[in-house]
Amino acid sequence: MGMSLQDLSWHQGVAHCIEHLDRPSFWRTLATLLGDFVEVDTWVALLFSHDKPLIFDQSPYLREGTDPLVSEYANGLYLLDPFYISSREQSHTGLVRLADVAPEQFQQTDYYRLYFTHNVVADEVQFNLALGDGRTLCLSLGGRSRFDTQAIAQLELARPWLIGLMRQRLHFEQLPACAPAKPALGLAQGRDEARRQLESVLTARELDVVRLILSGHSNKETAIKLKLSAETVKVHRRNVYRKLDVNSQTELFSLLFLAGEDLASLQPAP
């Protein structure tokens, strides 16, 4: 650590990344370069779109097989990721900090408890490249400690280089040749039932409230976003719990996760 972007090592590192643009090792080479300038503990390169995130590469998993947390993220937890939600609301190119997108009660969410504290730990920043058509190419960096002001400044200085490299790398990424494997029949049936349950009883406004609450927005933040009173939000929340026969936010999260669908695609009850 302690190197700056004026150092020869930075320019040599960028040149090394350019050499690896068409190789499978590109993302790891890029993450290693950034790790020489700021403390990076985990990273993942992925594509946000209207479908499930497409993961291109990630930090090496130290055990056998595939990292189960990343699999769970791609299979549904991403719906509650503040970075994903922000990209859906307004995709833009640049460096995004967790503090820029995390709602007031982020640390009380099941996403924070089940995924963030285990896989990211303390802080996260993300280089985003908006591609249009609802797609965003992302390089996410996680830290076991907060990215301080100096680290953010270093990343901001590196941003034009990083965004340029990411844009060029996209030409070498291959989409899956076949459709993703379908879930096992039992899970598919469970998801269909959970989706029907959500769609059959919840109104459009209640679905809006569910999405915001599960992503960590307080009643006040939800009210502001939906242009409602905080008391009205509380009423919607009570009605959702009653209709779905759940008693806690965790139970509500479990039902959504089982449904395995983006709430934006759910159709409210007539």
> Cβ of 101: how many Cβ atoms within 10 Å?
19
Mean pLDDT, range 141-166, rounded to an integer: 94
Q: Is the pLDDT of residue 35 over 50?
A: yes
Judge whether 44 lies within some domain. yes
Higher pLDDT, 10 or 16: 16
Report helix, strand or coil for 227. Answer: coil
**Residue (of 120, 114, 128, 118) closest to 84 by Cα position:** 128
Q: Is the domain of 116 the same as that of 190?
A: no
Do 138 and 237 share a structural domain?
A: no
In a shared domain, residues 125 and 14: yes
Q: Is residue 178 part of a domain?
A: no
Query: Tokens 């985003």 belong to which residue?
Result: 128
Contact assessment for residue 118 and residue 69, using Cβ atoms and an 8 Å cutoff: yes
Residues 132 and 233 in one domain: no
Task: Choose the final residue of a domain: 120, 151, 172.
Answer: 172
Listed residue (15, 20, 31) closest to 172, CA to CA: 20
| Residue at which a domain ends, from 172, 199, 217 | 172
Same domain, 111 and 214: no
Q: What is the pTM of this model?
A: 0.74
Residue 239, domain extent: 185-265
Q: Is residue 97 part of a domain?
A: yes
Which CATH number characterizes residue 13's domain?
Answer: 3.30.450.80
pLDDT band at 56 (very low <50, low <70, confident <90, very high): very high
Rounded to an integer, the average pLDDT of 238-247 is 86
Least confident of 152-161, 186-195, 258-267: 186-195
> Do the beta carbons of residue 95 and residue 155 sit within 8 Å?
yes
The total number of structural domains that make up the chain: 2
Q: Is residue 179 part of a domain?
A: no
pLDDT of residue 246: 83
User: Which of 138, 172, 206 finishes a domain?
Assistant: 172
- 252 in any annotated domain: yes
* pLDDT score, position 194: 54
At residue 11, the pLDDT reads: 87
Residue 7 has pLDDT above 80, yes or no: no
Same domain, 166 and 196: no
My answer on whether 193 and 234 are in the same domain is yes
Which two structure tokens, joined as six digits, stand for 127?
């280089």
- Together in a domain, 37 and 150: yes
In a domain, 234, yes or no: yes
